[in-house]
Structure 1
């Protein structure tokens, strides 16, 4: 298993009588030979451990890895004999712990019904020391396996169990392969096996393991369900949850029910994700007119079509057995609802902006650039806002459009206020200058009149002094 992961350590390599692996350990690594494929390694605890208190535990672990795997690798030690076959008796109980169809229709399921979804079968015989010779002819490990699976004569219970196991393996696993592996090192070095490099291992063992890994990498098929549906990471996760829940509840995992449940889970998630993509794309690509806040109907329709196709492509990538395109139709209906909402929003924006444009036709900027212009502008703007708000039938976008309208005029308001302040101050200064000039002129005229009066009085005094009679 570690070699399949491309490592020398990872899964525990036990050198004692006590089992270290409990339950099922999972290791996911990129497939070394196929792009966009993940190699999922499931290492189970040893079957038949005498320390286990519940004998059913092995049966359920065996059933679970059968359900989750595309290739089942079964390890045994030294030789394939009747005892080795009897140790694999769990295969005889598969039909009691796995159902292809629902309970109402599952009666009388044949081996062929199981064979179409069960994994391929690889038997690895470790610490193999025998010569592969039969009737004086060298045979292959595969031939060795097939000869070991032949039905033997005899009526003893042990022989009957061996024959039943052989029969089940042949019927349930039409694709079979066998590898025999030498002992990798001497007994004394087994304790540090995971610390040794290939040069310290038996050369024959290294080559056998290399052949084994090559077969797994190149011959193992993608995990599929009925109708050739490929199992993705999310599907595998949901399958594991459903199967374990079924086992823990005391029911029998059913492939048909699992597929139906997966279809609902995966397709509902695909619909949600695809609809979210449509909303995001529509929001990004719809660019409103800076003045009206709306977009042309033809442009909006074109953007909708493009976003719809991208959402559908995502759905088809993530969908799972969408029979009769039920979930795809649901997605399209949801997208149509979003599009109708966008069209309605666009129409409301156009209507509201048209109303504001008509009401603000006389709200010219330049005409208010004068002293007192800010107050007049505010009065006119407040009147427009009151009239707009009082006009019925604007829709839910009314406040949004009004807010944008007022925000768009903030610069005008600041400009008018600033100009009003400057011109008003200047006007006050001019008035002050005029008042000051008028006062100075009055004072000058009064002073001139006073001087003239004094001159006249002086002349009159001189005339009196010379006896000149004057009349007033």
Structure 2
């Protein structure tokens, strides 16, 4: 975008940029060619003199808008309106959007290169920028995950699945944030770092959930069993018929415990350990109870063993269910990672394709202008550049499976990070397949 002081500005600008054929205008033509090359899309705004009298112009920046000419105010409004409605954010090749922080980093890289006598290289500058921005994207995503989990999880959750459902939601948000702010993540190094962080954080929340449940249940059982332990200490049950009294007290504790809300997923495990701690005492009371026959004692022992076996079976089943839930959560996470990565690859490919098409379009228009201006030789010199662009566009459009090796390699990496046992072996096989396809 260029500014001028002429009416019919766009046409005046194009006229000014026409290549001159007279002698002695080589430097002027070089400037014109540079502007035409680096500003393929151009618009010129004409601004009138701020005021007719020249005296206040020295203090132009401090002049109130009302003291400026109405024509200039109208032109300024038109200029600002165009900027806000039509100007696009600065981007690098591949659609990498540049904000203030990124622009500052790029400038630092350019200045260092120039100061050391090197020629600034855009690709090196972008890779250097990625090494700064990608770790920041990982940190931003991980921080969002932790904040949202801490906000949404009410410890202890009743089941593991309750926690994992929230984890899946928060992880998806974190991955979306990472995909939004990361770029040039070669071999998905930073995505892998994020996955490892999220897995560690998830395990931490699971542990916290279990610890909260365990401590709460232990505290409640200690309170519920206080009178029972006092009675044991006093020998209350060391009398004929004492075993039935003990059983009644124990069953009452168990019933009261089951009725308590929000015990969490460690409720059965803590209860099982509590009952195991009473086992020796219970057997002693049973064997010394003179009101029971030997046959009745034997039957009670069998019943105690049967109840313990049933509780152990129930606990084992719960652990198996939780293991299955963890594996399903990892599978969902794996699928979400792959979906987001595939979407990002497609979006990046689309951005590059659109970028190449815009450049080709501008080159074709510039070639057409050169022909109209009678500069046939310069127009022909652009043919090679146009042909290269056309070939790149065709290559991008035709190679729909070019992202497959990278996707398989990333899938292998994610499986090795997230899935245990056979998942890690499958991950190694996928990475090997990706290597063979990319050769």
| Fold shared per TM-score above 0.5 | no
Q: Which has the higher contact order (CA 8 A, sep 6+)?
A: 2
The structure that is strand-richer by fraction is 1
Shorter-chain TM-score: which interval? 0.3 to 0.5
